[in-house]
Structure 1
Amino acid sequence: MIIAAILVCEAAALLAVAGWFLLGLITSTPMSLGGAIFMLVLLVLLAGWLLAVGHFFFRGYRWTRSAALVFQFFVAVIAIPALTAGVIWLGLLLLVPAVIMVHQLFTRPVVAYTSRTSDGTPML
């Protein structure tokens, strides 16, 4: 499923950012060590959460649609200021998958896939 693949790719990107952040933390002195460690832990936890959402979305759990939607809104909150600041490549790199994901989350097959029950009857 495309949505699960995009979620896993976003999680991998977050892990890459966490690695880059860790490298910067090792090679330079941060203004606040506690704040830098908190940011690193937050990035790793968010990547783990996205991996879990992608896994459970692939399995068809209902709650994953809302979790994926909220994350895409957070991505858009970062992408739009990047676009307006003139960092077009970063803004588009963030915004295009988010827009595709939001569109796909509301298509009929995705809603049907995530609204099924174990006996095959749809639920509200």
Structure 2
Amino acid sequence: MTPAPTPDRGPRPREVAVLAGLVLLEALGLAVAALRLLWTLLFEEPLTVGGTVFLTLVAAAGALWLLRVGRGLWRGFRWPRAAALVVQLFLLVVSFPLLQAGEWAGLGPAVPALVVLVLLFRPAVLDWTTRTLR
């Protein structure tokens, strides 16, 4: 089954490329976290085996989901905008207590999340991501 041809909408806006790239970097970060948890499970002494297995599976599934979201944004689908929005809000919720405690590590998830939130509502991104599954 071949995908239906899509109308040519011109070149992909730069904002979409940055947006998809940031979401894919977040996916990479989650994949690295999953691999680190797996390393802990296999070669170190985890605090709890069940908890580490669960977190490894959640991080790996999240990384795969973010890969799909980034690909959907790149291709111009509408559905990934909501998924990306929810992930960014979650990252801000996680990073806010770190920043309040004076931990500069909170900037790691907060800055890309803010950039993605701004890009999600840019007119060029909204125009590009109007394609739906048919």
- TM-score normalised to structure 2 length: 0.81
The correspondence of residues 36-75 of structure 1 with structure 2, limited to 5 A, is 36-75=52-91
The correspondence of residues 2-17 of structure 1 with structure 2, limited to 5 A, is 2-17=18-33
SS, match of residue 59 in structure 2: helix
What CA deviation, in whole Å up to 9, does each residue of 1:88-113 have, x standing for no partner?
A: 1x111111110010001001111111
Task: Let me know the Cα RMSD of the aligned residues.
Answer: 1.5
Identity, % of aligned pairs? 38
What CA deviation, in whole Å up to 9, does each residue of 1:7-54 have, x standing for no partner?
A: 110101111111122222223333432221011000000000000000
Aligned twin of 2:127: 112
Shift of residue 86 of structure 1?
2.0
Structure 2, unpaired ranges of 5+: 1-16
* Higher normalized contact order (CA 8 Å, seq sep 6+, divided by chain length): 2
User: Which protein has the bigger helix share?
Assistant: 1
The count of corresponding residues between Structure 1 and Structure 2 is 117
Aligned twin of 1:29: 45
